[in-house]
Chains A and B, each alone.
Chain A
Amino acid sequence: MSELKLMKGNEALAEAAIRAGVDAYFGYPITPQSEVIEYLMTERPEQRTGMVVLQAESELAAINMVYGAASTGKKVMTSSSSPGISLKQEGISYIAGAELPAVIVNVVRGGPGLGTIQPSQADYFQSVKGGGHGDYKLYVLAPASVQEMADFVEDAFKIAFKYRTPVLILSDGLIGQMMEKVNLKEQQKRLTDEEVITLNGDWATTGKPTTRERNIVTSLDLQSEKMEARVHRLMKKYEQMEQEDLRYEEFQTEDAEYLFVAYGSSARIAQKAVKLARDKGIKAGLLRPITLFPYPKKILFDLANQVKGILSVELNAGQMVEDVRLSVKHKVPVEHFGRTGGIIHTPEEVLEALEQKIIK
Chain B
Amino acid sequence: MNVLDIIKPENQVFCKSKLMTDTTLSYCPGCGHGTAHNLTMEVIDELGICEDTIGVAPVGCSVLAYDFMNIDMTQAAHGRAPAVATAIARTWPEKYVFTYQGDGDLAAIGTAETIHACNRGENIVIIFINNGIYGMTGGQMAPTTLEGMRSSTSPYGREIKTMGSPLKITELISNLPGVYYVTRQAVHTHKHARKTKKAIKKAFENTRLKKGLSFIEIVSNCNSGWKMTPNESNIWMEEHMFPYFPLGDIKVNGILK
Contacts and interface: CB of A to CB of B under 8 A. Distances in A.
A168 B155 CA distance: 45
A60 B73 CA distance: 21
Contact of A67 (B57, B84, B92, B94): B84
Interface in B78-114: 80, 83-88, 90-92, 94-95, 112-113
Contacts of B72: 205-208, 214-216
Contacts of A205: 54, 72-74, 88
Given A54-B86, A61-B116, A64-B83, A72 B75 contact: no
A205 B91 CA distance: 12
A311 interface: no
A220 B71 contact: no
Interface in B36-92: 50-54, 56-57, 63-64, 66, 69-77, 80, 83-88, 90-92
Given A68-B76, A207-B54, A208-B51, A60 B112 contact: yes
A76 interface: yes
B71 A214 contact: yes
Interface residues of A, number: 39
Given A69-B90, A72-B74, A214-B70, A91 B50 contact: no
A256 interface: no
Nearest to B113: A61
Contacts of A307: none
A64 B75 contact: no
Contacts of A220: 63-64, 75
B76 A64 contact: yes
Interface string B168-184: 00000000000000000
Contacts of B73: 205, 214-217
B87 A65 contact: yes
B4 to A, nearest CB: 34
A23 interface: yes
Nearest to B115: A57
B71 A58 contact: no
A149 interface: no
Task: Please indicate which of the listed interface residues B69, B87, B88 has the most CB atoms of chain A within 10 Å of its own CB.
Answer: B87
Contact of B52 (A26, A58, A67, A207): A207
B112 A24 contact: no
12 contacts: A60-B83, A60-B112, A64-B83, A65-B87, A68-B56, A68-B85, A72-B54, A193-B94, A206-B92, A214-B69, A215-B73, A218-B57
Interface of A: 23-24, 26, 52, 54, 56-58, 60-62, 64-69, 71-72, 74, 76, 90-91, 94, 98, 193, 205-210, 214-220
